[in-house]
């Protein structure tokens, strides 16, 4: 704890001692995570707890039942930082946190313990009025506000409560201390910094993820006392939480990794950034915990399902073909389509069905059957899309892969995943680009709003009739209510940027997701509508437009 802070606390203790006959000590409460401010905690010893419980019935506010008899301290806390049902008093689960004094070179330890109770401002004020053993509320509030001004904190983005500090500034401190502790002739030119993370369960319902670093060159680098905390977030250990809440910290680490040097007291040193943690944390950061990831270990290519195969020799998986090279780990490249799915999950059987339809078969089935499913729609575009979806969802064709390649095959799948809705919400159509070039962002927003509002009547009814005709059910992930609500809240610039070339700007958010999943080539493919990708458009009349009434549909 810094000297300034220690002196400040000591002065406060001396000041309030004359107002209280009960032993009082000061600490900082973990609730600083919620607002980027430090909440002061006044701790009173156990005898006061007993007296307080005896007086419970005298006051109009209520307390929660004490589940743990080993209560050591009574805690004061800002009322507006608690949930409504816990405004009067609540159990606090806490952990040790570290942050930096505004001077930049002082470190303040923020310590709290388990099994503490917190009470709001108003109930505390009532207590202070009724007893001479407590300092008046004004002193507590004044000290807390002054303390918040002295401590520099950054809270994490998103909805996950947490805090992080500047990595570069924190790294300078141990490097400076290490240099000052060794002779001039032994000063290193390079420092190795190990960044690690781990999740911990601090109670039955509370989780915490901690990121820290340590200088590998120090003799005591394995000691927990030499670990410097970079960030603490109150959440479970999963990819989404880390990606959003720790994005600023990850960006800062990557920037330091790129330049690979740091200046300390006008001297520049090379920095080698290492990454560590338990296997779960490493897998999490590498994306190996995803649903499509078949490999569980970053160092080998042993599928998840084979790890427990005891029929293999003990050294079977140590063979060269099962090992992953550093180049393969760094590359993270994937090919597209069927090959991408096969590589991401090689043990799953993917039946790639080539659906080949002759013009004669198309004309017969359209005339006798498909046109009735399309009714009341009657445009050329509806005809092209409806026919393409009908033949594709039928699942009848020739196998294009496996040992049965070339043989006739009919899919028995009862559920079909459909990608409809992505173009409408993420500016995937060519007309979106035209609107943007002519009317800018405002025109693009109006076009997207119109597309989304009419999608149920314009597209979904048609597609549902077509697919259910085969006795199958359709699923539309892109128009799931949660997905639509989420996309509506995002700025349009996050979803698409049509100032970028074709194959990049449209459906930009979806392309970035594909990049995250390792589908690098797929992410840069230009959009190709199903009627053109299937070659069904203009096979019978290349002069008609999509909006024209289709003369091949007898809608009378």
Query: pLDDT tens digits for the chain (556 residues)?
Result: 345 545 555 665 565 555 444 444 444 433 333 334 444 444 444 444 444 444 433 332 222 322 222 233 333 333 334 344 333 333 332 233 333 334 444 333 333 332 234 455 666 676 677 666 667 777 777 766 666 665 555 666 777 777 777 888 888 888 888 888 888 888 888 888 888 888 776 666 667 888 888 888 655 555 556 678 788 888 777 777 777 788 888 888 888 888 888 988 888 889 888 887 777 777 766 655 554 455 666 667 776 666 667 777 777 777 777 776 666 555 443 334 455 555 455 566 777 788 888 888 888 888 888 888 888 888 888 888 888 889 888 988 888 766 677 788 888 888 988 888 888 888 888 888 888 888 888 888 888 888 888 888 777 888 889 899 998 988 889 988 889 989 988 888 888 888 877 778 888 888 888 777 766 667 777 777 776 666 676 667 667 777 788 878 875 5
Instruction: Identify which of 315, 175, 166, 321 has the alpha carbon closest to the alpha carbon of residue 251.
Output: 166
Check whether the bond before 376 is cis (ω within 30° of 0).
Answer: yes
CA separation for the pair 438, 420 (Å, rounded): 26
Angle between helix 247-259 and helix 167-180 axes, rounded to 10 deg: 50
- 530 by DSSP, 3-state: which? helix
CA separation for the pair 322, 299 (Å, rounded): 9
The model's pTM is 0.43
Give 273-333 as a DSSP string. EEEEE-HHHHHHHHTTTSTT--B--TTB--BGGGTT-TTS-TTGGGSGGGBPPHHHHHH--
Q: Domains along the chain?
A: 3-152 (no CATH), 162-289 (no CATH), 354-533 (3.40.50.620)
Look-up of token digits 């405004």: 87
Contact 523, 511 (CB under 8 A): yes
CA separation for the pair 244, 76 (Å, rounded): 31
Secondary structure (H, E, C), 471-527: CCEEECHHHCHHHHHHHHHCCHHHHCCCCCCCCCCCCHHHHHHHHHCCCHHHHCCCC
CA distances from 452 to 380, 448, 449, 458 (A): 21, 6, 5, 10
Instruction: Identify which of 388, 383, 386 has the alpha carbon closest to the alpha carbon of residue 553.
Output: 383
* The two three-digit tokens of residue 381, written as one number: 């575009």
Report which secondary-structure segment, H or E, holds 210. strand 207-215
Residue 518, φ and ψ in degrees, nearest 5: 95, 5
| pLDDT recorded at residue 266 | 84
């Amino acid at each position: 704890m810094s000297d300034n802070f220690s002196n400040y606390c000591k002065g406060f203790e001396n000041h309030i001692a004359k107002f209280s006959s009960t032993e009082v000590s000061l600490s900082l409460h973990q609730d600083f995570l919620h607002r980027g401010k430090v909440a002061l905690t006044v701790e009173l010893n156990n005898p006061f707890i007993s007296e307080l419980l005896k007086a419970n019935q005298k006051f109009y506010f209520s307390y929660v039942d004490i589940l743990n008899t080993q209560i050591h301290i009574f805690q004061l806390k800002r009322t507006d930082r608690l949930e409504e049902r816990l405004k009067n008093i609540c159990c606090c689960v806490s952990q040790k946190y570290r942050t930096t004094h505004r001077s930049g070179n002082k470190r303040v330890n923020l310590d709290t313990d388990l099994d503490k109770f917190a009470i709001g401002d108003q109930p505390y004020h009532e207590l202070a009025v009724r007893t001479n053993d407590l300092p008046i509320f004004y002193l507590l509030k004044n000290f807390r506000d002054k303390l918040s001004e002295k401590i520099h904190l950054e809270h994490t983005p998103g909805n996950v409560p947490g805090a992080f500090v500047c990595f570069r500034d924190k790294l300078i401190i141990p490097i400076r201390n290490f240099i000052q502790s060794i002779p001039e002739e032994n000063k290193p030119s390079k420092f190795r910094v190990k960044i690690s993370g781990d999740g911990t369960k601090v109670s039955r319902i509370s989780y915490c993820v901690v990121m820290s670093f340590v200088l590998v060159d120090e003799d005591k680098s394995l000691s927990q006392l030499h670990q410097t905390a970079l960030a603490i977030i109150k959440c479970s250990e999963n990819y989404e939480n880390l990606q959003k809440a720790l994005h600023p910290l990850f960006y800062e680490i990557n920037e330091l990794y790129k330049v690979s040097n740091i200046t300390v007291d006008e001297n520049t040193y090379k920095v080698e950034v290492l990454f560590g943690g338990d296997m779960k944390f490493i897998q999490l950061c590498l994306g190996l915990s995803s649903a499509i990831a078949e490999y569980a270990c970053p160092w080998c290519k042993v599928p998840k399902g084979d790890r427990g195969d005891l029929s293999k020799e003990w050294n079977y998986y140590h063979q060269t073909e099962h090992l992953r090279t550093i180049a393969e780990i760094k590359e993270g490249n994937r090919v597209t389509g069927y090959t991408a799915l096969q590589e991401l999950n090689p043990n799953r059987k993917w039946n790639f069905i080539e659906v080949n339809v002759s013009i004669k078969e198309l004309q017969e089935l359209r005339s006798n059957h498909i046109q009735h499913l399309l009714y009341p729609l009657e445009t050329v575009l509806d005809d092209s899309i409806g026919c393409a979806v009908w033949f594709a969802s039928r699942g009848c064709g020739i196998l294009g892969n496996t040992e049965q390649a070339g043989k006739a095959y009919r899919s028995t799948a009862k559920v079909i995943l459909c990608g409809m809705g992505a173009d409408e919400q993420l500016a995937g159509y060519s007309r979106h680009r035209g609107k943007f070039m002519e009317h800018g962002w405002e025109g693009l927003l109006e076009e997207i709003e119109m597309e989304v509002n009419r999608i149920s009547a314009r597209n979904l009814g048609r597609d549902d009739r077509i697919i259910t005709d085969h006795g199958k059910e359709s699923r539309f992930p892109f128009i799931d209510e949660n997905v639509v609500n989420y996309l509506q809240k995002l700025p349009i610039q996050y979803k698409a940027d049509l100032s970028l070339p074709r194959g990049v700007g449209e459906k930009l958010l979806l392309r970035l997701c594909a990049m995250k999943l390792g589908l690098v080539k797929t992410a840069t493919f230009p959009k190709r509508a199903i009627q053109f990708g299937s070659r069904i458009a203009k096979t019978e009349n290349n002069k008609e437009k999509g909006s024209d009434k289709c003369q091949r549909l007898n809608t009378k």
